[in-house]
């Protein structure tokens, strides 16, 4: 490959890396919501997988069955984390044009 071709490829790679960084910063600001227990537990997680909001319907608070409430919280949080992963993967596919790049490539 001639020097001009290599320089062009490096410039394209740098542009792609800058775009990837911009997208990652944008995704970190987005939030996803998940519920469990028929809406008894509602969580909001940001793109960094930080729990930013947790709401529990007072009717779901039963001292005799705290394990069920704990399970609903875990289910809602795990689903929200999965949705963050799906959101990131979807945006990355858009950026890479559907290329199957290995994780950590950018």
1 pLDDT tier (thresholds 50, 70, 90): low
Q: What is the pLDDT of residues 5-37, one digit of tens each?
A: 888 888 878 887 888 888 888 888 999 999 999
State the fold for domain 32-97: Ybab; Chain: A; (3.30.1310)
Residue extents of the structural domains in the chain: 32-97
- pLDDT value of residue 79: 97
Q: Provide CB contacts within 8 A for 32, sequence distance 6+.
A: 44, 45, 80, 83, 84, 87
Q: What is the pLDDT of residues 57-93, one digit of tens each?
A: 999 999 999 999 999 999 999 999 999 999 988 888 8
4 pLDDT tier (thresholds 50, 70, 90): confident
Separation of alpha carbons 1 and 55, rounded Å: 58
Q: Could you count the other beta carbons within 10 Å of the beta carbon of residue 37?
A: 18
Quote the pTM value.
0.74
């Amino acid at each position: 490959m001639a020097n001009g071709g290599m320089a062009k490829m490096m410039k394209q790679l740098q542009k792609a890396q800058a775009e990837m960084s911009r997208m990652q910063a944008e995704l970190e600001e987005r939030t996803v919501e998940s519920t469990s227990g028929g809406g008894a537990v509602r969580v909001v997680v940001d793109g960094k997988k930080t729990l930013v909001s947790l709401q529990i319907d007072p009717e779901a608070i039963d001292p005799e069955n705290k394990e069920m409430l704990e399970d609903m919280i875990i289910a809602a949080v795990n689903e929200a984390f999965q949705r963050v992963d799906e959101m990131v993967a979807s945006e990355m596919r858009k950026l890479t044009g559907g290329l199957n790049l290995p994780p950590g490539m950018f």
